[in-house]
Structure 1
């Protein structure tokens, strides 16, 4: 089942969710490594290119993820969640969607406004054109600051999101995390008429 239904997420949502999550973790680690003061300049250039390539991939998958979310059914919240918890979960998901879109866009803006005018090679396959922004040191500094703060905010929200999922899994022991892992137990729907008929046949046989 690739599409969502009222009871859970389809594999399309699950694959996109975890792929983007892995990309975010890798981009945060890569961003830290490439900005170290003691890094070799040649290695730094390569890491920047990898960072931009994976950032563009994250942007593309996020756009697909948002489109997939818009055309899919949103599963019902777990019955054990309170109204405040369901509102908080919806709010966090909306912030995550917004940040996973904004962070790579601001990264693209940095490359576009840089006075160095270094092309963005997408995995050495194609060149990503720059955004139509004016190139200046001030603009590059501005977008670098915005990109950094949004990236830190995204990392913080992801940490809280993951902590909440683990809390529900290990302490609440509900289906919040298992539903996104795609490992919910199979629950065949019972047919009341069939069950009643079977019960009547059993009673008749006993008589």
Structure 2
């Protein structure tokens, strides 16, 4: 039985599954990398990690935009009948918040490097120079965007942890198919 790239009424397809797990891994990895890079004593290593962090941030931004576009064009599978009315109302809000943080965080990082008085160019994976956002450089703007990026990172990782805990609750406690839908893709015929 071949597996579908698109979603069916009961399961996600390969495209959504790959994007989900790739973005999740990048988002968590970026948090860890950001946490480490600002605590290093070696300026050279910190600089190299910051450049990697920026590269992965631009990659994350592109993947999240692709994921949102894919989601708009491919309806999410219906929740199992076991999911109550409260969760049916809050699940879309939680996903909307996740997408919002996954967009806001790399955008705030891009804004931060754009307003930095250091004027260090961003070169994603050393392939090209990413233009800065049209924002005025200043110490005050840099402090604002640094704080915004920091708060967004911690709020975003808290939301990811809640998302993971909710999925685990469905799988181990409620024993429904909510988590399975994003692990095993749909078949071309849409059968479970």
With the shorter chain as reference, the TM-score category is: over 0.9
Is the counterpart of residue 55 in structure 1 residue 57 in structure 2?
A: yes
Structure-2 residue corresponding to 1:137: 139
| Partner SS, residue 176 of structure 1 | coil
Decide whether aligned partners of structure 1 residues 6 and 132 sit closer, same or farther in structure 2, where only a CA change above 3 A counts: same
For the 8 Å contact 1:175–1:184, the answer to whether it is kept is: no
Question: In angstroms, what is the RMSD of aligned CA positions?
Answer: 1.8
Structure-1 residue corresponding to 2:117: 115
CA distance in 2 between partners of 1:161 and 1:122 (Å): 29
Is the counterpart of residue 30 in structure 1 residue 33 in structure 2?
A: yes
For the 8 Å contact 1:31–1:51, the answer to whether it is kept is: yes
For the 8 Å contact 1:111–1:118, the answer to whether it is kept is: yes
Is the counterpart of residue 5 in structure 1 residue 22 in structure 2?
A: no
**How big is each residue's C-alpha offset from its partner over 1:156-193, in whole Å with a ceiling of 9 and x where there is no partner?**
0000000011111111111011110016899986xxxx
Structure-2 residue corresponding to 1:200: none
Cα distance, 1:104 vs. partner? Answer: 0.2
| Partner SS, residue 9 of structure 2 | coil
Structure-1 residue corresponding to 2:87: 85
For the 8 Å contact 2:7–2:75, the answer to whether it is kept is: yes
| Partner SS, residue 81 of structure 1 | coil
For the 8 Å contact 2:104–2:152, the answer to whether it is kept is: yes
CA distance in 1 between partners of 2:27 and 2:35 (Å): 12
For the 8 Å contact 1:53–1:121, the answer to whether it is kept is: yes
Structure-2 residue corresponding to 1:161: 163
* Structure with the larger RCO, 1 or 2 (CA within 8 Å, 6+ apart): 2
Number of residue-to-residue matches in the alignment: 188
Cα distance, 1:126 vs. partner? Answer: 1.1
CA distance in 2 between partners of 1:30 and 1:74 (Å): 31
| Partner SS, residue 126 of structure 2 | coil
Is the counterpart of residue 68 in structure 1 residue 87 in structure 2?
A: no
CA distance in 1 between partners of 2:111 and 2:32 (Å): 20
Cα distance, 1:74 vs. partner? Answer: 2.2
- Map 1:41-52 to 2 at 5 A: 41-52=43-54
For the 8 Å contact 1:178–1:184, the answer to whether it is kept is: no
CA distance in 2 between partners of 1:91 and 1:188 (Å): 26
**How big is each residue's C-alpha offset from its partner over 1:77-104, in whole Å with a ceiling of 9 and x where there is no partner?**
1110001011121111000011100000
